[in-house]
Chains A and B, each alone.
Chain A
Amino acid sequence: MENELTNSPLSFDTKAENNIIFTRLDTAINWMRKNSLWPMPMGLACCAIELMAAGAARYDIARFGSEAMRFSPRQSDVMIVSGTVTYKMALAVKRIWDQMAEPKWCIAMGACASSGGMYRSYAVLQGIDQLIPVDVYISGCPPRPEALLEGLMRLQKKIEDEPSFVDQKKALLEELNA
């Protein structure tokens, strides 16, 4: 019976038809992006230990699609600045950030990366946001892995609403009209 239907010119492929979802391109792209955020682990101090804990079995960052820690900036989507950024390190962090391909995001993990933390000192950059744009700040010294995961989920929420394709389309239309 089923075979008869599928072979008839009037029939439709139930398997394929049932699996087609109608959506906007932006939503589809954002859905893919937010569920495969590969981190660039910028581990500079003790926060990096919590970052490692977040990656290990108990907290398992893989549940959010971020298990592929890339030590190459060219393959990563989100830079997790975890630790104290000294002035000596600052421009190296910036350089690695510049090497990351768009679209890219940044999480400032912990007090030091967000604001210099307890290091009110001549040697420490008072917040990585002085050099690179930060999407999510996570408080704590160091933050627990749950806090990092919460930060990651906030970032996913943020990515969900990004109208990148709509923007591109608008820009293209303006270009054509001009």
Chain B
Amino acid sequence: MTASEVVEAVKSKFGDSVRETVEFRGEHTVVVDPEVGKKVLKYCHDELAFDCLVDLSSLDHFGEDPRFEMVYELYSYSTKSHFRVRFPVSEDEGKVETVSDIWATADWHEREVYDMMGLLFDGHPDLRRILMWDGYPFYPLRKDFPLAGRESDLPDVAFTGQAPLAGGPFVTSPSSASTVKREPRSREID
């Protein structure tokens, strides 16, 4: 089954719940309603032979509504095709159904999303932070969290402070200017 056939199969099965299909350089993506998110993924696993969840991640579209978005990167070992499923998650809800019962590997990936972005996973067997420690009060990968960090203190467990950015962060901007111009340097962030 080729990737475009997969898109057609999902479309015919879920109809209007498929909001958008994207094809970019041979990569196929479907954007679906959050309500059918898990059903689509389960269908991909059970019927379309996507037996491998390559990765699972989240996006923060800060300032937009819905704010968050989940991205699932699927791969099929039998048909050797890639497929991507995305769906939005609103900030008020902030909750996604777990897929760790479909692909066991999702366990730690979902813990990372919870740790870094603060999304909760319904039905997750062990939803703890994976990189930061339990009790750390922030979600560092959200757009409104400063790179320098914020102060926190959990006595005898861990503490954090603010890093001196000294005019930074020092980042490159994409352009066709000379390497000297493109050199990472201090820039104001709006």
Which A positions have Cβ atoms within 8 angstroms of B? 87-88, 90-91, 116, 119-126, 130
- Encoded as 1 (CB less than 8 Å from any A CB) or 0, chain B from 130 to 151 comes to 0111000010100001111110
The residue from B149, B157, B159, B164 contacting A122, defined by CB atoms under 8 A apart? B149
Are A88 and B148 interface neighbours, CB within 8 A? no
Contacts of B133 in A (CB 8 A): 88
How many residues of B are in contact with the other chain, CB < 8 A? 23
Within 8 A of A (CB), among B140-183: 140, 145-150, 156-161, 163-166, 168-169
Chain B binding surface, main DSSP class:
loop
Are A116 and B132 interface neighbours, CB within 8 A? no
Contacts of B148 in A (CB 8 A): 120-122
Contacts of B168 in A (CB 8 A): 120
Q: How far is the CB of A86 from chain B (nearest CB, A)?
A: 9
The residue from A90, A120, A130 contacting B158, defined by CB atoms under 8 A apart? A90
Are B147 and A120 interface neighbours, CB within 8 A? yes
Which B positions have Cβ atoms within 8 angstroms of A? 131-133, 138, 140, 145-150, 156-161, 163-166, 168-169
Q: How far is the CB of B99 from chain A (nearest CB, A)?
A: 27
User: In the complex, which residue of chain B has the Cβ closest to the Cβ of A124?
Assistant: B163
User: In the complex, which residue of chain A has the Cβ closest to the Cβ of B147?
Assistant: A121
Complex alpha-carbon distance, A123 and B158, angstroms:
11
The residue from B131, B140, B158 contacting A91, defined by CB atoms under 8 A apart? B158
Q: How far is the CB of B188 from chain A (nearest CB, A)?
A: 16
Are B149 and A121 interface neighbours, CB within 8 A? yes
Contacts of B169 in A (CB 8 A): 120
Q: How far is the CB of B183 from chain A (nearest CB, A)?
A: 15
